[in-house]
Amino acid sequence: MTALAALLKRCTVIYAPAGNAGEYSELATNPYTGCGHECLYCYVPLAMHMKRDAFNAGAFKRRDFLARLQDDAERFRAAGVTAQIFLTFSSDPYHLDDTQATRWALEILRDHGLGFCTLTKGGLRALADIDLFRPEHDAFACTLTSLSDTFSRKWERRAALPAERIAALRAFHSRGIFTWVSLEPTLDVESSLAIIEATHPFVDLYKVGRANYLQEITRTTDWAAYTQRVIAKLQRLGKAHYIKRDLQTYLPTGYHNPLRVQQHHGPRAAA
């Protein structure tokens, strides 16, 4: 067992996500259950065995979450581990309800020498915590599926509109924070390609996936052609990217596609 695995065995709210989520981050924590953004493609109710209506009713802080995070962060500090922790796979850190627990969680991580990364569709709501983000430790990320308000209102009914999410990315980039965009799910090929064109000046990294739980899109999309086009565009623009496992079968043999890269602007860790 590795030292990290041994450490995680003693933790209760910091964990190593598996499968699809594990491609996003080595370590994560989930302050909330539920999310009011009502994304039609959201996999979380399925994964958590929750009724979709109950999940959509809003976000609630998990019981004792902050005290347990404090204990886990202390274990990390005692072990001298300074990793970046992802928020969150069970909700959105900047959902529509009270997100004070997000701020407290980021403060706990910071105060114990840990980095953090938030992935959100909350748009400018994230600016409430921008003062906590540090260029040399932290990252800010948004999921984008389209540049169209109409499209977004259909698929992500109560999330911030695309222009607002993009404004948040610009704001974090302007503060020197590492930014990345999740192009997962890809609901429309042309939209994902247009997002790259529109955001590449202020986005450091793209993570590209497909649509997994939406049979109509999965059946009708030429994923091989999409993969070729997306890597051609990202290469032309000189942008770092990770193509998720579901699309890796369409990559050229030997394609450089690192699972983990440094997601902050601090000094490079020794190889």
Q: Which residues bind ligand SF4 (CB under 6 A)?
A: 35, 37-39, 42, 44, 91-92, 121, 159
Residue pair 29/90 in contact (Cβ under 8 Å)? The answer is no
Cβ 3 to ligand SF4 shortest distance, Å: 31
Residue type, 245: R
State which residue, 168 or 234, has the beta carbon closest to ligand SF4. Answer: 168
Cβ 92 to ligand SF4 shortest distance, Å: 4
State which residue, 21 or 240, has the beta carbon closest to ligand SF4. Answer: 21
CA distances in angstroms from 42 to 122, 143, 190, 194, 261, listed in the order given? 15, 12, 21, 22, 26
Q: Parallel, antiparallel, or unpaired: how do β-strands 14-15 and 28-29 relate?
A: antiparallel
Alpha carbon 131 to its chain centroid, in Å, reads 19
Strand, coil or helix: 7: helix
Alpha carbon 68 to its chain centroid, in Å, reads 22
Cβ 262 to ligand SF4 shortest distance, Å: 25
Q: Which residues make Cβ contacts (< 8 Å) with residue 242, sequence separation at least 6? A: 23, 205, 206, 207, 208, 257, 258, 259, 261
State which residue, 71 or 97, has the beta carbon closest to ligand SF4. Answer: 97
State which residue, 210 or 233, has the beta carbon closest to ligand SF4. Answer: 210
Cβ 90 to ligand SF4 shortest distance, Å: 7
Question: Tokens standing for 132?
Answer: 């906590």
Whole-number Å distance between alpha carbons of 75 and 78: 5
State which residue, 11 or 159, has the beta carbon closest to ligand SF4. Answer: 159
State which residue, 145 or 227, has the beta carbon closest to ligand SF4. Answer: 145
User: In what helix (H) or strand (E) does residue 110 lie, and over which residues does it extend?
Assistant: helix 100-111
Cβ 72 to ligand SF4 shortest distance, Å: 22
Cβ 130 to ligand SF4 shortest distance, Å: 19
